């Protein structure tokens, strides 16, 4: 705790510093004291905590309440799988958050700090700081405070109604697969991180084949619905190919009883038919939500009080169905994901920031996400000296126009972007 305090006190306030600037200085201070950065919470997942040392896990959070929840979940996972002794969430003071909001509004008008703290910045952060003033049980009190604002941690079927690999609950599906009892449909083996070999690498599988759905006239958002995704080994994915579920599901169930149910497949054969695709999605969302809530309950050692909406929230009028915003754009398939990862590796090899994958553009008034940019540098590749840029692969003109209207220069292929980096950013001769 003393090291953290000293690192923070050593950072001077600079009027034109943004969140990235302060993150760098916090990182430099803690790393110099022996803290490890970007530590995996669960080895099988990509979920990471900002810093760790001697069982103390730290998240630096300038974001909104949704980000606070994510930090809380990371701490619970670290306690369960990494023997964490303490989880520490570092948040800005009310004055500091207000200054960052003002700076962010001037620069991009979409800084995520403003979502929770807009309008009543001082009163809301004062309440949060009061909740954690006493370290004994402070995190639990903060979560209770956030539940009053959000209305509980229960995951609804509608949360799985997104689409593309950029959907917010796509990582939840992957997490459930890796830490649960999900089994491969070709081998019947659990899909744990101990799987080895090139053909054992997990791939995204479209349960109802893309080609078959497009033939039936379904839109891209329906074809790439999160509820139509599961994870299989490469070999199994290749073997299934574009076979319809009504054909290959019975074969899997006969060869490996229970393997379908382990991946939250509704077991009514009528739902396996192409004409009942939407009903299948609805049924699977129910199963995914149930599994996610059971996983959360396990992390909480059976204490469901955190999941439930508090009395103050429960007494307010609520909608029985979760409203899912229409978000355009996003990474559509694994080929795009690999191409973008290779580009990120190339950019970092030029000693430039790797960028933000699946970067959200939000409505400046409501704070709701309206578009997902495949790979973006919202502060430019040379922060403060170059314009915001984004790479958009196979996106519609609507996404291009939206990115442009929010101040981004966009590129629709990797090679053009690389030429921009080399000649306009790094100044190499043509």
Report the sign of the C-alpha dihedral through residues 79, 82, 85, 90, in that order.
negative
Token couple for 40:
């995996």
State the Cα–Cα distance between residues 134 and 176, nearest whole angstrom.
Answer: 34
pLDDT value of position 39: 82
Tokens 């994958």 found at: 357
Full DSSP string of 375-394: EEETTTTTTTTS--EEE-SS
pLDDT value of position 116: 43
Q: What percent of the chain clears pLDDT 90, i.e. is strictly above it?
A: 25
Tokens 């599994």 found at: 291
Please count the other Cβ atoms lying within 10 Å of the Cβ belonging to residue 414: 16
State the Cα–Cα distance between residues 304 and 135, nearest whole angstrom.
Answer: 23
Cβ contact 26:11 at 8 Å: yes
User: Chain-centre distance of CA 359, in angstroms?
Assistant: 10
Q: Flag residues of the chain having pLDDT under 70.
A: 18, 43-47, 62-69, 94-152, 165-166, 193-201, 306-327, 334, 364-369, 384, 428-430
pLDDT value of position 276: 97
State the Cα–Cα distance between residues 120 and 415, nearest whole angstrom.
Answer: 46
pLDDT value of position 291: 94
Cβ contact 75:139 at 8 Å: yes
Strand 56-60 with 86-90, pairing: parallel
Q: How many CA atoms lie within 13 A of 108 on its CB side?
A: 26
Burial (Cβ within 10 Å: 0-12, 13-18, ≥19) of residue 217: exposed
- Between CA 223 and CA 228, with CA 227 as vertex, the angle to 5 degrees is 40
State the Cα–Cα distance between residues 10 and 377, nearest whole angstrom.
Answer: 28
Phi, psi of 410 (to 5 degrees): -115, 150
pLDDT value of position 46: 58
Phi, psi of 298 (to 5 degrees): -65, -40
State the Cα–Cα distance between residues 320 and 324, nearest whole angstrom.
Answer: 13
Per-residue DSSP letter, 12: P
- Between CA 282 and CA 227, with CA 42 as vertex, the angle to 5 degrees is 10
Cβ contact 163:330 at 8 Å: yes
This prediction has a pTM of 0.58
Least Cα distance to 331 among 381, 362, 376 occurs for 376
Helix, coil or strand: residue 423 = helix
Token couple for 153:
């941690």
């Amino acid at each position: 705790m003393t090291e953290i305090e000293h690192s923070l006190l050593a950072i001077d306030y600079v009027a034109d510093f943004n969140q990235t600037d302060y993150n760098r200085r916090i990182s430099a201070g803690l790393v110099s004291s022996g803290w490890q950065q970007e530590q995996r919470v669960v080895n099988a997942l990509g979920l990471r905590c900002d810093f760790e040392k001697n069982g103390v896990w730290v998240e630096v959070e300038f974001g909104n309440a949704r980000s606070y929840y994510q930090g809380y979940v990371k701490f619970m996972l670290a306690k369960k799988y990494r023997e964490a002794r303490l989880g520490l969430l570092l948040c800005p003071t009310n004055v500091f958050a207000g200054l960052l909001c003002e700076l962010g509004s001037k620069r991009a008008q979409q800084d995520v700090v403003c979502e929770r703290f807009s309008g009543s910045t001082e009163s809301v952060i004062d309440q949060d700081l009061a909740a954690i003033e006493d370290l004994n049980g402070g995190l639990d009190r903060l979560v209770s405070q956030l539940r009053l604002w959000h209305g509980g941690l229960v995951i609804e079927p509608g949360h799985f109604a997104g689409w593309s690999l950029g959907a917010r609950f796509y990582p939840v599906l992957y997490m459930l697969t890796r830490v649960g009892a999900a089994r491969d449909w070709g081998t019947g083996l659990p899909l744990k991180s101990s799987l080895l070999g090139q053909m054992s690498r997990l791939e995204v599988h479209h349960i109802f084949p893309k080609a078959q759905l497009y033939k039936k006239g379904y839109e891209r958002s329906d074809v790439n619905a999160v509820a139509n995704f599961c994870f299989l080994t490469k070999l199994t994915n290749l073997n299934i190919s574009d076979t319809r579920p009504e054909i290959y599901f019975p074969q899997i169930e006969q060869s490996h009883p229970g393997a379908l149910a382990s991946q939250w497949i509704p077991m009514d054969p009528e739902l396996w038919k192409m004409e009942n695709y939407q009903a299948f999605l609805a049924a699977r969302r129910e199963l995914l939500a149930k599994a996610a809530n059971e996983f959360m309950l396990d992390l909480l050692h059976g204490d469901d009080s955190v999941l439930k909406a508090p009395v103050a929230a429960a007494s307010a009028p609520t909608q029985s169905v979760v409203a899912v915003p229409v978000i355009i754009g996003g990474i559509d398939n694994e080929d795009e994901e690999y191409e973008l990862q290779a580009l990120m590796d190339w950019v970092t090899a030029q000693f430039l920031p790797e960028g933000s994958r699946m970067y959200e553009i939000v409505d400046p008034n409501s704070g709701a996400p309206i578009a997902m940019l495949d790979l973006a540098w919202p502060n430019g590749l040379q922060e403060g000296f170059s314009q915001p840029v984004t790479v958009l692969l196979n996106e519609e003109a609507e996404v291009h126009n939206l990115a442009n209207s929010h101040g981004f220069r966009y590129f629709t292929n990797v090679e053009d972007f690389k030429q921009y980096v080399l000649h306009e950013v790094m100044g190499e001769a043509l």
